[in-house]
Amino acid sequence: MDDREIAGIRTRNRTRDAILGAAAGVLGRDYHATLAQIADAAGVGRTTLHRYFSDREGLLNAAIADSIKAIEQSVKEAAIDQGHALEAMRRLVTAMVAVGDRLVFLFGDPRVLEGHNTARTTPPPYDPVIALIKRGQDDGVFDRAVTPEWIQRVLWSLVYTGYKDAGACGLSKHEIVSTVIRTFENGIHTSNSGTPPSRPGSTPG
């Protein structure tokens, strides 16, 4: 294979990646978006898009698989099995926000994964995020009174909301990571808020 052929393969791969990334971003905002809108977001013509994906179903399946791969790769690069559990969790949040568009695409509309082969019906045998949470609980960093699965869902909800609704919540893009981390670690209770007032009908302790 000569340099010209290699360059052609790289160009095709970049174009395909651009289309898949655009599909995730556009369909995450509007499940009914057209192929023309996706092509425009990818910076290619509709004819070019059809050369790579002949129909919407094929593009949707490829975008799902690519998004799952992107999320898994982001988690892997965060090296959450290394170092202090709290620092590892902060790296995970940063990594997840970086692929926030993929999370919104996959989980924002149940129709995306419905009926597709890439949708898991059972948990994977090893989940690195659950392993991190359990390690943090063993180290006394994360609350042992709640299950790792609950902590994981709270984390995903914060990341999802932070990325999807940043503007509506008065956050700029660069504030998402710090706000998600702060909320995850501290909740909404401040250390100097004092004793909460008794609820109506409750008996003071």
**Is the predicted pLDDT of residue 205 greater than 70, yes or no?**
no
Please give the CATH superfamily to which domain 3-186 belongs: Tetracycline Repressor, domain 2 (1.10.357.10)
Q: Give the mean model confidence (pLDDT) for residues 140-169.
A: 92
Distance between CA atoms of residues 121 and 201, nearest Å: 45
3-state secondary structure of 43: coil
User: Would you kindly state where each structural domain of the chain is located, as residue ranges?
Assistant: 3-186
**Chain centroid to CA 137:** 23
177-203 as b/e, with b when 16 or more CB fall inside 10 Å? bebbbeebeeeeeeeeeeeeeeeeeee
* 7 Cβ neighbours under 8 A, 6+ residues apart: none
Single pTM value for the model: 0.79
pLDDT given at position 201: 58
**Is the predicted pLDDT of residue 176 greater than 90, yes or no?**
yes
pLDDT tens for 86-130 read: 999 999 999 999 999 999 999 888 888 886 655 454 445 579 999
